[in-house]
Structure 1
């Protein structure tokens, strides 16, 4: 903590009286954590707009640059190659420098890479800036998870995770008509200019307003006590500008992966992300080529699944926390919405067997709603990560989860190129969702914090 902060704030959070939930000494609890959550939600919305506007631009961009479906699948996957490879280094950077610095640098550089994509005139430049985008965005979700674990008690973490996660879908749901209209009026390059500029501005806003709980003037002692009593503030004392070594060793990765909680949720998140990646990359092309929709119709129909996914995210998070507050075990409260969501997401296959465009959108909306329900994996990361290793644990989790960003665009691209149809692609997405549900049922096991010890490195 900074010297000025130490002069005005307690060096350690004050523990509340036993059984107290409202505050300390009758003090009304502040709600500064919700302002921090708003920052995360907006940042996540911009994050997903930056990584997915290539999917919106793709039908027009491919014609101008002469790119085939198979090559476009490779270009879509370029983001995830660098994103995945940068996960663990990004997590280490987060553990070393903290949330404020990491998120500011991440957002600023990914926004610059987005803006630069509007300047390209060939495949080489597009690939280079997609790779840069992936590296820059890598620390974002580990930072989100760290901020939630620091600022929120366990009983509110699924709600908090659902709130910032909904930003993934809200941006595309409500901005898609504007983005399609912008592209129709000014061309595909305008998308990258506008969204990139917005991200740069928000990076400055983050730097001005983000604080750790112990340094936040709006968080009173009652709120700090409430957060600490619920298991928050875990990482707070490791921030405040102190450049502290994380104690990381490369063998720690292997030791973490020997715990079934982490390996199981990694596989499950890969499955959920496969559905998400399809919607973020190939969905507009699917509507244009498989369903032969025009631009205005695509802009209208593209809203529906993203709105459904937004509702699914909030429902899944709220339902999970509701179960937890009523005494249901974390195993059921955290895993039930995810398992149900992944099972329901597999119904995307049914879109192959209907002719009506309305029926197709309904099926896809149900599947994406379900994927949103299943998007609680980051809550589990907050619950199981060892103290001081949330960044690297989140990096491992996001590494595995975002292998879907490599595999899915490539598989879909090659299937469409080889068959001229999306039928096999939807079957692939549905089967992977089923595998994810089975992972949560049979592999994950108990939801509890991993403890790494020298004497018992394999203990769960």
Structure 2
């Protein structure tokens, strides 16, 4: 009996890892979006105005946002294996605990604690891409894990409405909390860094490092000297923070008030919401994957990273601004089509935005920190958008004004990336940067 030949080409462990990360982000967003789907049908237990609903949604983002800088630093400190595992356990526990809420303040408390637990998730995923993927594969890899947010929101509609129809709203949070606990232990079992992973061969590791994967082995001495606090001094980082704020200002409408918009403004029933309400999210997933693949292909063919990332982000934000026209068309199907194009375009922009931390980080120890900073700024939109949308709906009696406002915000974000952000490349040590004690001047 002859022995099978040993594999000489690169293994593909990185793709297994990114799909597991995708599953984690899907569960993460399922937990996050479940309340927005369930809340319109929780009227027997909660009698909340649109403004109160906005405050409940915002409670999550207060915690989620304020924890972002620390979460990014923590991911760089302990690595994505531990950070993602602990985050998933935490957010799953408080998702399940939401079933015990009995009033406005208990609901606010559960959402706040859920936000704390979910805060390390995106920086952990961005760190995984930086560690496990070369430059010309980051676009698609980023689109995979980032699409988990869309899939989670899409899955939330039929899953949550189905559980409510079969059982009650309390069961929704218990079931999806249990799913998150299971995923956490799967992640702990599967994830390792490349040189520690038993399934990755030397050919795959060489493929990663030659292609620009961000690992400790590829870091330069100067890059490692850049302290966390000095990241705020770089125009690139500040532009990333503001631009992502603009993107999330639109995206969080889909995560919070989108189901209520379809029910209250367009007259969707529970069945309509579960079926037709999934269309924008499904379109967004396909758009994001396509955008990531095309971006990687362009970089492999020699296009500069700066040109590719800016094209993807600016075009995506311009397409996202179409949300303002959804408020003006007379038919529900027209609004749904425009919302689908808007959400898909924003997703394409998001794949470029979340690839930026790996592109501009001065070293592997800065990737999640930069991701946390831009996510910190972006999620002020998660705090502001629900309150502004709720207030404008209560004041005007419709969703026209809020959709016009957030559509304009998308255009402002596009101008920021086009005109303010400079060349996309690893940040360099600023000449006046204080050196550690004992470090000789050069």
SS at the partner of 1:67?
coil
Aligned to 1:89: 70
CA distance in 2, matches of 1:174, 1:393: 30
Asked if residue 106 in structure 1 is aligned to residue 87 in structure 2, the reply is yes
Q: Tell me if 1:382 matches 2:358.
A: yes
SS of corresponding position for 2:330:
coil
Contact 1:351–1:363 (CA under 8 A) maintained in structure 2: yes
* Separation in structure 1 between the aligned mates of residue 13 and residue 121 of structure 2, nearest angstrom: 21
2:424 equivalent to 1:420: no
CA contact under 8 A between 2:65 and 2:380: conserved in structure 1? yes
**What is the aligned counterpart of 2:168 among 187, 191, 201?**
187
| Deviation (angstroms), 1:96 | 2.0
In structure 2, what is the Cα distance between the partners aligned to 1:294 and 1:413? 21
Q: 1:63 to 1:346 in 2, by over 3 A?
A: farther
The correspondence of residues 51-70 of structure 1 with structure 2, limited to 5 A, is: 51-70=32-51
The alpha-carbon deviation at position 233 of structure 1 amounts to: 4.5
Write out aligned runs for 1:27-66 (5 A): 27-66=8-47
Shift of 1:259: 1.6
CA RMSD of aligned residues (A): 1.9
The alpha-carbon distance between structure 1 residues 56 and 235, as it changes in their structure 2 partners (threshold 3 A), is: farther
How many angstroms apart in 2 are the aligned matches of 1:195 and 1:286? Answer: 24
What secondary structure does 1:328 align onto? coil
Distance in structure 2 (CA, Å) of the matches to 1:175 and 1:288: 16
Determine if contact 1:212/1:236 at 8 Å carries over to the other structure. Answer: no
Partner deviation per Cα, 1:414-435 (whole Å, 9 max, x = no partner): 1011111100010111011001
For 1:106 and 1:451, locate their aligned partners in 2 and report how far apart those are by CA, in whole Å.
32
1:288–1:236: structure 2 CA closer, same or farther, 3 Å change rule? farther
Structure 1: stretches of 5+ with no match in the other structure = 1-24, 239-245
Structure 2 gaps, min length 5: 1-5, 435-442
The size of the alignment, in residue pairs, is 423
Distance 1:225 1:203, change over 3 A: same
Alignment of 1:198-347 (within 5 A): 198-235=179-216, 252-253=228-229, 255-347=230-322
Cα distance in 1 for partners of 2:345, 2:51 equals 28
Deviations 1:352-411 (A, max 9, x none): 222211111111111111111111211011110121222221211110111111111111
Preserved contact between residue 161 and residue 270 of structure 2 (Cα < 8 Å): yes
Partner SS state of residue 433, structure 1: helix
Question: What's the counterpart of residue 425 of structure 2?
Answer: 448
Matches within 5 A, 1:403-442: 403-442=380-419
Q: Distance in 2 between matches of 1:305 and 1:236?
A: 42
Q: Distance in 2 between matches of 1:314 and 1:330?
A: 18
- The answer for the alignment partner of 1:6 in structure 2 is none
Taking structure 1 as the reference length, the TM-score comes to: 0.88
What is the deviation of 1:175?
Answer: 4.9
Cα distance in 2 between the residues matched to 1:248 and 1:332: 26
- Report deviation, 1:451: 2.1
